[in-house]
Structures are given as C-alpha cells and as structure tokens.
C-alpha cells in the first residue's frame, strides 16, 4: 500500500479463502436512468457457500484464530445471518468446529442460511431478542462451556466487525487501485459497521479520493458513527494504527431501514424484481436491496452530481431470498394474472 509499513505487514496476515479480486461491472440501464456511471463491485462472487463480504473479514480472523491455536469458531447473528453461514463454511475448510449463537426462534424447517449452517455441520443454539440483550454474557458462557469440553474456541463478534475483520475491506482498496476507473462515491450497507470502517480507512490509507457512503439496514446513523469510531479505536489499541489525518467523517443514512431489520414492504421487493430484470443483478432483501434503494434515492435527490462515477459494493446475501418465497409469491402471481 506504500508509505504505511505497519499496514502492509498487517495485510499479509491472512489466509486466502475468497476468490479475489472480484469483478467490477457497469450497470448500463440504471446508469442511464440515474444519470451517473454506476458500477458494481461483485463481492457476491467472493465464494459460493461462503459468498459475500464476510469472507474477506474471515480471511484475517481465521489467520488470527490459527495463530492463537484455536480449534473451533464461535460467532453470533440472526437466524438468517450471512456471517454465521460464511463462518460455518470456512470452519469446515480450515478443519475447525463451529458453534452459532442465533437470535430468533428455531424454525420447524431450516431454510436459507440456516439450512446451509446445518448442512455444514455447525451446532446452533437459539436465543430470544430479550436474551440477546445479554449477548456478551451468553458468548462468554458458550466459550467457557466449550473450553470445559477441552476445545479451544475463537470468538468472532457479530458480523466479524472488529479491527481484525475490517482489514479485509482495507485490502479491497488494493483491488480498486488497479481499476481504470477512479470512483467518486462508494456505497455499502451498514449492518454491523465493519465493512464501512474498512472501506473508509482503506480509502484514506490508499490515498483514493472516493467518498464512502453507508446506508443503514438497522439501527440509526448515530449508532453507526459510534460503531465505526469503536473499530478505529481498536485499530489504535491493537495495531497502533490511526486514521491518517486523525479525522474521519462517517456518512451514514438511516432513512431506508423501512419496516425494520430483515423486514420488507412489497414495494421494496418489487424493486428487487425490477433491478433483477433490468440488469440481471439480484440483490438480497435484507442488506443490498435497502442499500441500493438508498443509493438511488440519494442520487435522485441530487446528493451525487450528474455524471459522477459511483461504485456499489454488492456484499452478497443471496441465501436470504429463499425464506422470503411467500412474500414474493403475490408479486409474481399478480403479474402472471395481469
């Protein structure tokens, strides 16, 4: 990366698990519609079972886990967590065990990400939303229970969002530096904040001029400002890495959470269908759809000057479509009748 030897050394501390670099593709129809040059960074193509943004973070987390001599991974998320599914997949590849702490009820039939978790042999335990308020205790109890059985667990936080995981998105800047296009704006989802933190820090370290804009899919802008600051604080504590000029600005828009995390309106899903048919690009309902809708709205509002080069990071999540078959059904049936 150049003038930052600490970062160069840190970026080497990874296990190669993802199919990188991912391609950057232009969306011609939506570019015309929106009056900008719109491109997608296809991080939905990082792998198959472990696809999406989490595998970039896991490359660094797994290196750390192996270095610490751990033999299993423990992490947490919603029942349909993409992060949990990707963690279960890389655990198998690395010959490690995996236990998932899941928020929500155990469904009668596993579908989507949970089905993949089960197929991959991860063990799971379910907790209510109320229980999740004491997540930290649950994590520590789970670690202790496995240690008692003689295992050496490595605990990965929600979404893999800590300083170590965020290195994965700093490294993505090496890929962007080799692109012929220089981007004015980069959009990504804000779920637990690690992807955005990595992009923001990565842009500064790489000397790229793009502005990073995050669209919240849960919580509010203030929450994400805190989370990103917390991750930067960890960079300082753990690696003695500070933001280049000491100042950073988190651009977080929380107007597109809609009905709530992982909930969709028929209008949102109709847009997913429209974009799929226009560009052959399928977004996931929980993260990338809401982020894409937020990006289009910001462009229409004039936040992005006409003719700008805009990069949307498709962070994956396709397995999250399958548990929503019933929500798509009326939209598709109405069309068949009409």
Ligand X SMILES: Cc1ncc(COP(=O)(O)O)c(C=O)c1O
* Residues labelled catalytic: 81
Interface with ligand X (CB under 6 A), residue from 39, 232, 287, 292: 287
User: How far apart are the C-alpha atoms of 28 and 266, rounded to whole Å?
Assistant: 25
Size of the site for ligand X (CB under 6 A): 20
Indicate the residue among 36 and 158 with the shorter CB distance to ligand X. 158
> Cα-flanking dihedrals φ and ψ of residue 243, to 5°?
-60, 135
Separation CA 75–CA 45 (nearest Å) = 23
Instruction: Please identify, using beta-carbon distances, which residue of 208 and 282 lies nearer to ligand X.
Output: 282
Specify the residue, 146 or 319, whose C-beta has the smaller distance to ligand X. Answer: 319
- Minimum Å gap between C-beta 157 and ligand X is 10
- The least CB distance from residue 194 to ligand X, in Å, is 4
Q: Does 142 bind ligand X (CB under 6 A)?
A: no
Judged by CB under 6 A, which of 22, 142, 195, 309 binds ligand X? 195
Is position 315 an interface residue for ligand X (rule: CB under 6 A)?
yes
Query: According to CB under 6 A, which residues from 175 to 194 bind ligand X?
Result: 189-194
Smallest gap from Cβ 284 to ligand X, in A, equals 5
The full 3-state SS of 95-145, as one line of letters, equals CCEEEEEEECCCCCCCCHHHHHHHHCCCEEEEECHHHHCCHHHHHHHHHHH
> For the sheet containing 37-42, what is the strand order?
24-26, 37-42, 309-314, 185-190, 211-216, 251-253
Paired tokens of 197: 């933190």
Between 70 and 289, CB nearer to ligand X:
289
Q: State the minimum distance, in angstroms, from the CB of residue 315 to ligand X.
A: 3
C-beta of residue 311 within 8 angstroms of C-beta of residue 31: no
CA-to-CA distance for 92 and 263, rounded, in angstroms?
Answer: 31
Q: Does 323 engage in binding with ligand X (CB under 6 A)?
A: no
CB of 216 to ligand X, least distance (A): 9
- Show contacts with ligand X in window 29-58 (CB under 6 A): 52-53
What single-letter DSSP state applies at residue 193? S
Burial per residue of 129-162, b for 16 or more beta-carbon CB atoms within 10 angstroms, e otherwise: eeebeeeeebbeebbeebeeeebebbbbbbbbbb
Q: Which two tokens stand for residue 246?
A: 């000491």
- 288/309 with CB nearer ligand X: 288
Residue with nearest beta carbon to ligand X: 191
User: Of 54-83, which residues contact ligand X (CB under 6 A)?
Assistant: 82-83
In the complex, which residues of this chain contact ligand X (CB under 6 A)?
52-53, 82-83, 159, 161, 189-196, 284, 287-288, 315-317
């Amino acid at each position: 990366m150049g003038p930052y030897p600490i970062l160069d050394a840190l970026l080497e501390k990874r296990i190669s698990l993802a199919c990188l670099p991912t391609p950057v593709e232009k969306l011609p129809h939506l570019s015309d519609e929106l009056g900008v040059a719109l491109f997608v960074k296809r991080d939905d193509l990082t792998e198959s079972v472990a696809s999406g943004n989490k595998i970039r973070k896991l490359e660094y987390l797994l290196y750390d886990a192996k270095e610490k001599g751990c033999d299993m991974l423990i992490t947490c998320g919603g029942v349909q967590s993409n992060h949990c599914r990707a963690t279960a997949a890389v655990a198998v590849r690395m010959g490690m065990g995996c236990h998932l702490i899941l928020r929500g009820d155990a469904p009668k039939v596993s579908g989507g990400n949970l089905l993949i978790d089960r197929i991959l042999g991860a063990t799971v335990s379910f907790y209510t939303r109320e229980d999740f308020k004491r997540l930290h205790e649950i994590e520590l109890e789970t670690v202790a229970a496995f240690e008692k059985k003689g295992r050496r667990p490595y605990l990965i936080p929600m979404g893999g969002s800590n300083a170590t995981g965020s290195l994965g998105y700093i490294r993505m800047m090496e890929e962007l530096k080799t692109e012929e296009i220089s981007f004015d704006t980069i959009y990504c989802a804000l779920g637990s904040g690690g992807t955005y933190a990595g992009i923001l820090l990565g842009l500064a370290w790489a000397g790229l001029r793009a502005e990073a804009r995050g669209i919240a899919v849960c919580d509010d802008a203030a929450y994400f400002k805190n989370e990103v600051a917390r991750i930067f604080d960890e960079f300082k504590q753990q690696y003695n890495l500070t933001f280049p000029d000491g100042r950073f600005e988190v651009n977080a828009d929380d107007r597109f959470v809609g009905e709530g995390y992982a909930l969709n309106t028929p209008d949102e899903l109709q847009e997913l269908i429209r974009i799929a048919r226009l560009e052959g690009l399928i977004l996931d309902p929980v993260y990338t759809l809401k982020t894409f809708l937020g990006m289009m709205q910001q462009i229409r509002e004039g936040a992005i000057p006409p003719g700008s080069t805009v990069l949307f990071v498709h962070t994956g999540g396709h397995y999250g479509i399958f548990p929503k078959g019933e929500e798509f059904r009326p939209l598709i049936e109405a069309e068949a009748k009409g």
